[in-house]
Amino acid sequence: MGDVRGAYDPLARSLTEAGFRVAVADLRGHGDSSATFADYGDEATATDLISLIEALDAGPAILIGASMSGAAAVIAAGRRPDLVRGLVLICPFLRGPENRVGAFLQRTVLGLALLRPWGPAVWNSYSARLWPGLPDARQRAARLVTLLRRPGRWRAFWATTRTDHRVVAPWMDRVDCPVLVVMGSDDPDWKDPETEATWVARVVGGDPRETAEVMMVPGAGHAPMLERPDVVGPRVVDFLGRIVPDADIPRPVGERRGE
């Protein structure tokens, strides 16, 4: 949330160069998406992901979600396992405070902090620290806040921040596909990013004998696919190559895997 689909550009290039069909989308109220929706957050985004797969006749697809959209990807995979072949969860938020009081306090504090007129400045300062691997992190944060200042956008963004990630819990053990968890070692959203990644790998999926793969990205924060595309891209391509049948990857005439 607060970001746009351009954050996936380096990863999308790596995937298309490997022969995969790639579609990227902005969250509701973000980027080029409309800001007139009634609902925002994890469950609404999951609905949009399912609709996108169906509209493109792309199922079963690999869903790649970062941060909040990682939560949405898990919900979508749980709802429609027939449409999801695999998940790549990048710095995913799959849980909130364990009790109602903690959740209420967190939502209240965040809601107040992001109210206008001070909200854009608060978010600008916070998001500039999310990507320690980007030399232009401050400038990028400022550009994103400028986009959020467009008519109706800040209201939609504020509504998006109200999502309660506890809604993901009922869907975690319904995921029935391979999962890759990608986490920046310097992600400021967690005290211990590696511990969070390990927890995600353990709880996502219905088979207790299998855990998701985990990739820790040194020097990266909350957008490792953008901060370290040189290491994230090849690992995601490798992961997809192992779970997608070769016949399902369209390639130019004469090209074969490994050549």
| pLDDT tens profile 189-222 | 999 999 999 999 999 976 655 678 999 999 999 9
pLDDT of residue 106: 67
pLDDT(103) > 70: no
What is the arithmetic mean of pLDDT over 38-60?
A: 96
Residues 6+ apart with CB under 8 A from 27: 1, 33, 40, 45, 68, 69, 160
Percent of the chain topping pLDDT 70: 89
Q: How far apart are CA 196 and CA 249, in angstroms?
A: 32
pLDDT(93) > 60: yes
Q: State which amino acid sits at residue 41.
A: G
pTM value is 0.90
What's the pLDDT band for 258 if we cut at 50, 70, 90? very low
The closest alpha carbon to 26, from 84, 78, 69, belongs to: 69
pLDDT of residue 109: 74
Angle value at C-alpha 72, between 30 and 60, nearest 5 degrees: 110
The closest alpha carbon to 4, from 63, 51, 58, 67, belongs to: 67
Query: Cis (ω within 30 of 0) for the bond into 60?
Result: yes
pLDDT(257) > 50: no
pLDDT(248) > 70: no
